[in-house]
Amino acid sequence: MKSARTESRLSHVVIESISPELDGGRHPIKRSVGELVDVGADIYKDGHDLIAARVLYRLQGDATWLSSPMRYEFDPDRWHGSFTPARLGRWEYTIEAWPAHYRSWRADLEKRLSVGQDVTSELLDGAALIRRGARQLGKKDAARAKALASTLGDTGVTLEQRLQIAFSNEVLELTHGPIHPDEAARYDRVLEVIVDRELARFGAWYELFPRSQGTAPGEHGTFADVERRLPELAALGFDVLYLPPIHPIGHTHRKGRNNTTVAQPDDVGSPWAIGSEDGGHTAIHPELGSLEDFRSLVRAAREFGLEIALDYALQCSPDHPWVKEHPEWYFIRPDGSIRYAENPPKKYEDIYPLDFWCEDRQALWDACRDIFLYWIEQGVHIFRVDNPHTKPLSFWAWIIAEVQRQHPDVIFLAEAFTRPKRMQGLAKLGFTQSYTYFTWKNTSWDLREYLTELASTQIAEYYRPNFFANTPDILHEYLQTGGRSAFRVRLLLAATLSPTYGIYSGYELCENTPVRHGSEEYLHSEKYEIRVRDWNAPGNIKHDISRLNRIRRENTALRRMGNLRFIHSDNEHILAYLKSASDGDLVIAVNLDPHHPQETMLYLPIDDLGIGADEPFEVEDLLGGHRYGWRGSDNYVRLDPSERVGHVFKLRSQSRLDA
């Protein structure tokens, strides 16, 4: 009778403390195609034998594991390996380790030789190990291993020749794997990594309301008007053009200008009150154009290097077709009426929330999935999801997996301004990117603390931040009171701290008037009315935007999050940080005070940068084009926000310049 402790658990080798491993393997980490996955583990065994280990990895569904060797680092007593996923989709990885019998034998042989012992018997043992290991090799390698074993064990061959074989790299490679298959211990979990395209990790977003892209005040804009703006947005360097809901807007309890509860006859309503007699989530507002007009916009955007992102908001106007077709999908009050949305004291009479746990749950969930699939058919592969934290977490885990099973290139951005654990939980369940608290982080202390968490903790394995500097809902007090300089400061921070960032239209014009003091809502908010703008109005910061987006594309240091390192500054008003990459190190200094000049000494970690203590080096300000000669770790910076709010220095050491 077999013991309850199975044979597979009787290995000498222990594998534990795997990294990255998210919540015991319950959730996947994230990478993009071609991005390295570094894997670490504590691996040890009883006795003095050496160990060998490897990372096993494969695209989910593949029958064959690929492998990459792991290396041992003595000081931390830890093993490290890596692999690079080459295709979109969900990948699996785990670790395998085994006693390295031949390497142990060879190390022991070396010790015996060093003290002049007779090793005749030991060489026979080595030959036997090679023969045993040959059973696990392919035909060609097995034949070669047996030939080498024969020579190693031949007492008629000179000792020098036999030792050359014993210590050869060829034998080491042939004996790398486990001599007995059952000696290999495999970690008891298979871990996952979601592999996305690069735009999931790096990109610049621009949000606009299509109905505000016309040129005549009060006249409803169209997709054709948006199409006319594409050359300008492409020239500014944006990658994603995000559109709020483009669907028909309900009439019942329509909101008026500045969010008044009573709409006037000419009020256009909120695009998030989705659904009317013209259709629901798979229909287009008639005044924006036709479905073919939308397809034309998608095609034209791609020609300019832009992708269209659509808002995905699972809520319905009282006039949505689903209300009549499926009233069971909503929350029904005791009096038979449908409950509208509330977030006390706020009331949203113009929308009904969906009951995701209704009795007809599966049909509702399928209908929500089919909305995604419909717009994917129209060429949309990026979705900004509205308020996902107010819907079931299990729903998102299901629907994202369903969509990405067919379309692994689809990107999901979670617009969830809620408690940290809930925001992080949504990212763990599959959301590709996430909004953040960046808008409310305006002091050097806040920024350092928050960015350290995002870039240097386990959160970085799965949470990809999208730093929107403003949104239609959020006009922070810093922008309201800081004037044009404040907009330039926040733009510089967003574009250089995070690989992905965005702005909502009007930001480039420094629009900063709230509906009232103490509110983050805009006066004359586009959520409730049409806005016509002069996109080249005096004081715009379009030059800043285009310059920063070009710098981002030309410097790989700005494409990553985990390479962020803060630099000590004597002045808390100046935030300084380092972003490093193989093609150049960047030092960024930003004056967080939009009203006054500030100066400081910056203390660079020159040892880590490969710069000598007294070595002169040059920095080039990529924003202004000026070059400065620096020496040593302590260097002076002065920033007057009326002229420049920050520097993006590229370091050029004198030795590199001379070369």
Task: List, as one string, the DSSP characters of 553-587.
Answer: HH-GGGG-STTEEEEEES-TTEEEEEE--TT--EE
Q: Which of 243, 250, 285, 289 is nearest to 267 (CA)?
A: 250
Angle between helices 291-303 and 223-235 (to 10 degrees): 10
| Residues 503-518, mean pLDDT to the nearest whole number | 97
pLDDT class of 178 with cuts at 50, 70, 90? confident
- Do 1-99+184-196 and 101-175 fold alike per CATH? no
Give the pLDDT confidence of 552-587 residue by residue, as tens digits. 999 999 999 999 999 999 999 999 999 999 999 999
Task: Work out the average pLDDT over 116-121.
Answer: 92
Q: Among 164-178, 286-300, 315-329, name the one with the lowest average pLDDT.
A: 164-178
* CA pair distance 637, 656, nearest whole angstrom: 23
Q: Binning pLDDT at 50, 70 and 90, where does residue 433 land? A: very high
**pLDDT of 131 strictly over 80:** yes
- Among 189-193, 337-341, 441-445, 499-503, the range scoring the smallest mean pLDDT is 337-341
**Residue 159 host element (H or E):** helix 159-166
Instruction: Judge whether 301 and 241 are in contact, CB under 8 Å.
Output: yes
Strands (E), 277-343: 307-312, 315-316, 341-343
Using alpha carbons, select from 396, 428, 421, 426 the residue that is nearest to residue 23.
Answer: 428
The bridge status of strand 240-243 relative to strand 307-312 is parallel
Question: According to the model, what pLDDT value does residue 70 have?
Answer: 97
pLDDT at 3: 40
Nearest-CA neighbor of 258 among 461, 16, 526?
A: 526
The amino acid present at 439, given as its one-letter code, is T
Domain 101-175 has CATH 3.30.1330.60: no
Q: What pLDDT was estimated at residue 659?
A: 42
Average the pLDDT over 99-115 and give the result. Answer: 93
Contacts of 233 (CB under 8 A, 6+ apart): 206, 241, 304, 306
Contact call for residues 317 and 273 (beta carbons, < 8 A) = yes
Asked if 15 and 78 touch (Cβ cutoff 8 Å), the reply is: no
Write out pLDDT tens, residues 331-388. Answer: 999 999 999 998 888 788 999 999 999 999 999 999 999 999 999 999 999 999 999 9
**The pLDDT of residue 31:** 98
pLDDT of 653 strictly over 70: no
CATH architecture of 1-99+184-196: Sandwich (2.60)
Residue tagged active-site, from 96, 207, 350, 415: 415
- Looking at the domain that runs over 559-658, which CATH code has it been given? 2.60.40.1180
CB 566 within 8 A of CB 624: no
Active-site residue, 415 included? yes
Q: How many residues does the chain have?
A: 659
Instruction: Give residue 654's pLDDT band: very low, low, confident or very high (50, 70, 90).
Output: very low
Q: Read off the pLDDT of each residue in 638-655 and give the average, rounded to a whole number.
A: 88
Residue-wise pLDDT tens digits, 37-47: 999 999 999 88
The H or E element containing residue 22 is none
Share of the chain above pLDDT 90, in %: 91
Query: What are 545-555's pLDDT values in tens digits?
Result: 999 999 999 99
End-to-end CA distance of the chain: 73
Tens-digit pLDDT profile for residues 592-633: 999 999 999 999 999 999 999 889 999 999 999 999 999 999
Catalytic residue among 386, 508, 511, 585: 386
In tens, the pLDDT along 211-250 reads 999 999 989 999 999 999 999 999 999 999 999 999 999 9
Contact 361, 287 (CB under 8 A): no
pLDDT tier, 126 (very low <50, low <70, confident <90, very high otherwise): very high
Contacts of 539 (CB under 8 A, 6+ apart): 484, 509, 510
Q: Which CATH class is domain 200-311+362-537?
A: alpha beta
Query: What is the secondary structure of 298-355 as a DSSP string?
Result: HHHHHHTT-EEEEEE--EE-TTSHHHHH-GGGB-B-TTSPBPPEEETTEEETT-EEB-
Query: Considering the chain, what is the average pLDDT of its residues?
Result: 94
Distance of CA 30 to the CA centre of its chain: 7
pLDDT of residue 304: 98
Which amino acid appears at position 357 of this protein?
W
The CA distance from 502 to 262, in Å, is 33
Residue that the structure tokens 């794997």 belong to: 177
Residue 1 pLDDT exceeds 60? no
What per-residue confidence (pLDDT) applies to 82? 98
Contact 192, 21 (CB under 8 A): no
Omega prior to 465 cis, within 30 of 0: no
Active site residue 461: no
Angle of helix 420-428 relative to helix 393-406, nearest 10 degrees, comes to: 30
Q: What are the extents of the domains in the chain?
A: 1-99+184-196, 101-175, 200-311+362-537, 559-658
